[in-house]
């Protein structure tokens, strides 16, 4: 649905975004992640047509964005990082104006404004001047204008910025509901947000796209954690029979007689079969098996290491240990 090809943006001589390519299908919720200054906002501005790329293209349903800006922006919702909300306007006037900009008219305009006011829970502030609103309420007004007209593509820069926990939860539900009829791209620094919402993650580093993976792929690792009283020498000898086990490391030997071992596999596939084979070997040799589990990557550390040449697998072995 959304296709980004060789996208590039310079600010003077500085290259903020370089050769970014990805495709996003209808109904996906995609998280755009990266450290401060990585280029996320620049990409989002180009996706929403507010900033022209120096090179490359954005097409939505095979229609070029730059050449059909007005038409596409009617079906696009954008929550920018710094809301361009007019401080002197009241909330209701601002939503009315935003609806006009999207070409929503007449009876439909009233219905739409009512809908977004309810969905973002801002009815009690409708007549308040925007300059008097708290950060969280301003954010909700920004989200309300973004979802006006049921856009097919919703782009949100830090959507839960400034919201309290219950509003954050509410916003997540809202984003999920929107994704039933739209593609959603959101940038965030909050990993729980990514875990709770995203089907896929794009990680940007120094203007380059360095990771484009489904959540499930991103979290899966080729590591199994094993807790047993079988000593290391025997574990090494007996598990040789399983070809996929490449490396065995003792993680925690303090809990004697049980050790926690980290088994690195040559592949991230068939882990359940490999676990079954390991269990059989331990038990058939009359040792105790206290724990055996595949280890998921920890998103926080993945994100932290995003600038490294190779993203290391930092596993959470603590549960087993
Ligand atoms: N108008 C501008 N003029 C010059 N440089 C800019 C401009 N806007 C952004 N940049 C630079 O481009 C780079 C990418 O900025 P961008 O705002 O896209 O990053 P970001 O990933 O959204 O960061 P953050 O998480 O801090 O919001 C940064 O180095 C920034 O300083």
Residue 12 CA, closest ligand 1 atom number: 4
Same domain, 142 and 261: no
Please report the pLDDT score of residue 4 as a whole number: 97
C-alpha to C-alpha distance for 197 and 190, rounded to whole angstroms: 11
C-alpha to C-alpha distance for 252 and 260, rounded to whole angstroms: 5
Same domain, 112 and 261: no
Strands (E) in the chain, as ranges, are: 2-11, 14-24, 29-33, 55-60, 63-64, 76-79, 153-157, 183-187, 200-205, 208-214, 220-228, 245-252, 259-265, 289-296
C-alpha to C-alpha distance for 246 and 267, rounded to whole angstroms: 9
The count of structural domains within the chain is 2
C-alpha to C-alpha distance for 204 and 183, rounded to whole angstroms: 19
Same domain, 59 and 100: yes
Q: Does any ligand 1 atom lie closer than 6 A to the CB of residue 34?
A: yes
213, part of any domain: no
Relative to beta strand 29-33, strand 200-205 is parallel
Please report the pLDDT score of residue 156 as a whole number: 94
Domain with 148 in it: 2-206
Same domain, 133 and 280: no
Please report the pLDDT score of residue 321 as a whole number: 53
243, part of any domain: yes
Query: Quick one: which of 43, 59, 56, 1 has its CA closest to 202?
Result: 43
Q: Where does a domain end: 206, 233, 257?
A: 206
State the distance from the centre of ligand 1 to the C-alpha of 144, rounded, in angstroms: 25
Please report the pLDDT score of residue 314 as a whole number: 40
**Does a cis peptide bond (omega within 30 degrees of 0) precede residue 257?**
yes
Please report the pLDDT score of residue 254 as a whole number: 66
Alpha carbon distances (Å) from 29 to 38, 48, 75, 117, 200: 20, 16, 17, 23, 7
State the CATH number of the domain containing residue 245. 3.30.70.260
313, part of any domain: no
Residue 240's CB: how many other CB atoms inside 10 A?
A: 10
Q: Where does a domain end: 206, 229, 257?
A: 206
Please report the pLDDT score of residue 310 as a whole number: 38
Q: Whose alpha carbon is nearest atom 28 of ligand 1?
A: 37
Give the residue ranges of the chain where pLDDT is below 70: 84, 253-256, 305-321
Query: Quick one: which of 30, 303, 296 has its CA closest to 190?
Result: 303
Model confidence pLDDT, tens digit, residues 127-170: 999 999 988 888 889 999 999 999 999 999 988 887 888 888 88
pTM of the shown model: 0.80
Same domain, 50 and 189: yes
């Amino acid at each position: 649905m959304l296709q980004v090809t060789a996208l590039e943006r310079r600010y003077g001589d500085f290259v903020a975004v370089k050769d970014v390519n990805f495709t996003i299908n209808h109904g996906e919720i995609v998280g755009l992640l990266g450290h401060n200054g990585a280029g996320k906002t620049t990409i989002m501005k180009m996706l929403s047509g507010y900033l022209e790329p120096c090179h490359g293209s954005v097409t939505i349903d095979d229609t070029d964005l730059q050449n059909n800006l007005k038409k596409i922006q009617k079906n696009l919702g954008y929550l920018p990082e710094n809301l361009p909300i007019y401080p002197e306007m009241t909330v209701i006037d601002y939503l009315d104006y935003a609806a006009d900009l999207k070409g929503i008219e007449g009876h439909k305009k009233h219905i739409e404004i009512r809908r977004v006011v309810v969905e973002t829970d801002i009815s009690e502030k409708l007549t308040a001047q925007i300059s008097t609103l708290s950060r969280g309420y301003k954010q909700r007004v920004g989200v309300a204008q973004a979802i006006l007209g049921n856009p097919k593509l919703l782009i949100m820069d830090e959507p839960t910025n400034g919201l309290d926990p219950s509003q954050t939860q509410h916003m997540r539900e809202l984003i999920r509901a929107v994704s039933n009829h739209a593609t959603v791209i959101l940038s965030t620094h909050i990993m729980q947000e990514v875990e709770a919402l995203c089907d896929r993650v794009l990680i940007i580093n120094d203007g380059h796209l360095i990771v484009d993976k489904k959540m499930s792929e991103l979290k899966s690792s080729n590591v199994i954690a094993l807790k047993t009283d079988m000593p290391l020498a025997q574990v090494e000898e007996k598990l040789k029979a399983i070809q996929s086990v490449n490396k065995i490391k003792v993680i925690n030997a303090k809990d004697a007689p049980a050790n926690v071992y980290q088994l690195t596999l040559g592949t991230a596939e068939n882990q359940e079969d490999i676990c079954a084979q390991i269990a059989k070997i331990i038990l058939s040799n009359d040792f105790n098996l206290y724990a055996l589990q595949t280890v998921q990557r920890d998103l926080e550390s993945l994100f932290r290491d995003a600038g490294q040449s190779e993203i290391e697998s930092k596993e959470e072995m603590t549960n087993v240990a």
